[in-house]
Amino acid sequence: MARRAAIAGTITAILFLAVLVFLAKRGPASARPSTPVAATGASPAAPPLPGRKIKARLFYVADDGGRLTSIERDVAYGEGVEAQAREIIAAQIAQAAEPLVSAIPRGTTLRAVFITKSGDAYVDLSREAKNAHPGGTINELLTVYTIVNALTANLPAVTAVQLLVDGKEVDTLAGHVDLRRPLAKNLTWVQ
């Protein structure tokens, strides 16, 4: 048999440090911050009044491990829906004091929040939300609905929430829950 004109080459992988630049695909451009905003930072346009607080429902893993439980907490006041959303998420992802157990992976920080006119909120979390996720369908559902419910239960202007990681849309955090579109409030995951 005549030898076929062909090449087979093996590619080996090497790594180098990359700089990540991202623009989210959805949401009005005017609503997006030009640079990520730290979790504890307030909106540059509307700094919160010092000491002013609101009451907000925050969500933690219930004793049975299969649902969330909600508690009312004081959260810093933010002027406007986006600023308030940032304060709520910052409080929600802060390390929980015992006996509370957070469903948010340790080390996760908030990069940005922006909200469309139709009420979809985009919450951009740091890469730890995915990389440090412990896995398991229940863990992932509780992580996702902690964030979704924290905004939809406290801010009537927010009707659905989509999670982004490190500025990008992601399919899932740990292989189970579909994050390709905004998710509506779902209190069936709350006791």
Contact between 110 and other proteins by CB under 8 A: the answer reads: no
Pick 83 or 179: Cβ nearer other proteins: 179
Pick 63 or 74: Cβ nearer other proteins: 63
Pick 110 or 177: Cβ nearer other proteins: 177
The answer to whether the bond into 105 is cis (omega within 30° of 0) is no
Report 123-162 residues binding other proteins (CB under 8 A).
133-139, 141-142
Q: How many CB atoms lie within 10 A of CB 174?
A: 18
* Closest of 186, 15, 161, 188 to residue 85, by C-alpha: 161
The answer to whether the beta carbons of residues 113 and 121 sit under 8 Å apart is yes
3-state class (DSSP) for residue 183: strand
Count residues contacting other proteins (CB under 8 A)?
A: 42
Minimum distance between the CB of residue 74 and other proteins, rounded to whole angstroms?
Answer: 24
Ramachandran angles phi, psi of 30, nearest 5°: -65, -20
Range in contact with other proteins (rule: CB under 8 A) among 30-38, 45-53, 101-109, 118-126: 101-109
Kindly state the helix (H) or strand (E) to which residue 152 belongs, with its residue range: helix 137-152
Minimum distance between the CB of residue 50 and other proteins, rounded to whole angstroms?
Answer: 34
CB proximity list for 145: less than 8 A, separation 6 or greater:
59, 68, 183, 186, 189, 190
Contact between 18 and other proteins by CB under 8 A: the answer reads: yes
Among 37, 83, 177, 190, binds other proteins (CB under 8 A): 177
Among 13, 34, 55, 97, binds other proteins (CB under 8 A): 13
The answer to whether the beta carbons of residues 169 and 179 sit under 8 Å apart is yes
The binding site for other proteins (CB under 8 A) comprises 4-16, 18, 20, 61, 63-66, 101-103, 133-139, 141-142, 171-172, 175-178, 180-181, 183-184
